[in-house]
Amino acid sequence: MSEKSIIIKFEGLSEQTVGGISRIVGLVQARFFVSIIDFFNLEANPRSSKTGPVTDAIQETIANMPSLFPFMSKGILLASSNYEKLERGRIKLKPNNKKIEGILDGGHNTLAIGMYILKQAMDYHGQSLTSKTKNWDLFKSLWVEKRNIVESYLKDIQSGEAVSTLDFLVPVELLVPCDINDSGCVFSFTNNLLEICEARNNNAELQLTAKANQKGYFADIQEMMKTYNPVIAGRIEWKTNEGGEIKAQDIIALSWLALNMIDPVRDENNMDKYIDSIAPYKLYSGKGACLRQFEKLMSSPDVTKEAPDGYHAELFNDEVRSAFRIAADLPDLYDYIYENFPKYYNSNGGHFNAITACKNLNEKRKVKVTPFKGKKISQLTPDGFIMPLFYGIQALLDKREVNGKKEIYWTQPPMSFLDDNFDKIVADYMGNLGLCDYDPQKIGKATKVYDDAIKSYKMAKAGIL
């Protein structure tokens, strides 16, 4: 089989065409479903898939009610911008871009079916499927490793040497452009795939994170993280269910520290209106709002343009790109503040453990690590106390033009600045806790506290604190 194509054999095939899209629907025997698992990953799916009650239930249905499975499951949704109809219900798929074509919906079905097939093959050869196979990536690695066992099992089934457990049928729906020779039709088809993905996944409430990632809005900030902060980059879950200790929306919230400084950009849905910046307290109490505003920012015609594939967005705004470079530094700075605040609070005459919110947090949480790097620490601090101090770092940022390109930049190395000045900044900041009754919720949402924090950083920067 060519790496650029796959042949799928349908049973009971039917076809419908509406506008420029044709829908081919049928059933695929499990033994022919193997080639789908071989050929596709879940790049085109807004979410990755992971094991759990859903995949367990799917496999239980296959094992106990295989004849009912095609009626109890919606199966999978495939898309390909290029295809060829063959004889006997066979269709050759030749996707042009597997990042946007492939399995649009049904990732959990695909994972569950694949794990069932692999388990049957391994059981047949006296091997056991490891319980460590928790998500699609881990499964696919094991699938490739054990592919010869699967092939041997399929051959023995065909020769009659093995009893088949792969007689069940999988519902498969295939979307293709109605005229693959019409470039306009093909372009329109690929351009609509994201909206189709979103609609098909709405019964699971496709998260905005997943949609933003699929559209390519995270690509540049993700690349900056990989280049300038690889440790943090490896801990971020950019794609839903892919795995990672840090959620993408937490990184996006931090990035508004720098994004708030860019020149105003137009709203895609109202070109006479500029997109609002994010209020500082939203980084603490409105991470969903930060993500929604980020999606709006990245869809602005002043920030991104349509990529040549007609599907993804391509960043061209230099200020936004420079803000993403700043964002790569921010998790480490947040962790520094988080780790050191209790020490400097105490050294400046405070009693950290006497604060009810701090005492309760540390009694309830046995595992004490920093939020982003996961470094072991002795004391946890409510985020409401930390976020204004973090936001004050904006005082170290400025704007300039270099070779005709606007950029946000650090006026001095931020970590060195914290090493030299954070104890004094904490001393100046401490009074805000008393004014807000030592309530982290009040502090984290008080605009005045953020303003005061920025003033403290500016005074320390000027050497007058």
Q: What is the pLDDT of residues 392-440, one digit of tens each?
A: 999 999 999 999 999 999 999 999 999 999 999 999 999 999 889 999 9
User: Which tens digit of pLDDT belongs to each residue from 272-324?
Assistant: 789 989 999 999 988 888 998 999 999 999 999 988 877 788 999 999 999 99
Q: Is the pLDDT of residue 30 over 60?
A: yes
Q: Evaluate whether 113 touches 30 at the Cβ level (below 8 Å).
A: yes
Q: Is the pLDDT of residue 204 over 70?
A: no
Q: How do beta strands 236-237 and 246-247 pair?
A: parallel
| pTM for this model (two decimals) | 0.70
- What's the pLDDT at 286? 87
User: Which tens digit of pLDDT belongs to each residue from 311-332?
Assistant: 788 999 999 999 999 999 999 9
- What's the pLDDT at 211? 77
- Going by pLDDT thresholds of 50, 70 and 90, the confidence category of residue 386 is very high
Cα 436 to Cα 46, 355, 439, distances in angstroms: 42, 12, 6
Give me the sign of the Cα torsion angle 318, 323, 327, 328.
positive
Closest by Cα among 90, 111, 96 to 42: 111
- Mean pLDDT, rounded, for 143-153: 93
Amino acid at 383: D
Q: Is the pLDDT of residue 29 over 60?
A: yes
- What's the pLDDT at 206? 47
- Mean pLDDT, rounded, for 210-227: 90
User: Which tens digit of pLDDT belongs to each residue from 76-114?
Assistant: 999 999 999 999 999 999 998 888 888 988 888 999 999
- The number of beta carbons lying within 10 Å of the beta carbon of residue 84 is 12
- What's the pLDDT at 207? 64
- Mean pLDDT, rounded, for 145-174: 91
* Residues contacting 77, CB < 8 A, separation 6+: 103, 104, 105, 106, 173, 174, 175, 200
Q: Is the pLDDT of residue 234 over 50?
A: yes
CA angle 285, 49, 51 (to 5 degrees): 100
- What's the pLDDT at 99? 82
Return the top range by mean pLDDT from 72-86, 132-146, 199-213.
Answer: 72-86
- What's the pLDDT at 190? 83
Task: Cite the beta strand spans of 136-190 per DSSP E.
Answer: 169-177
d(CA 69, CA 58): 8
Q: Evaluate whether 338 touches 387 at the Cβ level (below 8 Å).
A: no
d(CA 463, CA 457): 10
d(CA 147, CA 59): 20
- What's the pLDDT at 331? 97
**Percent of residues, the chain, with pLDDT higher than 70:** 97
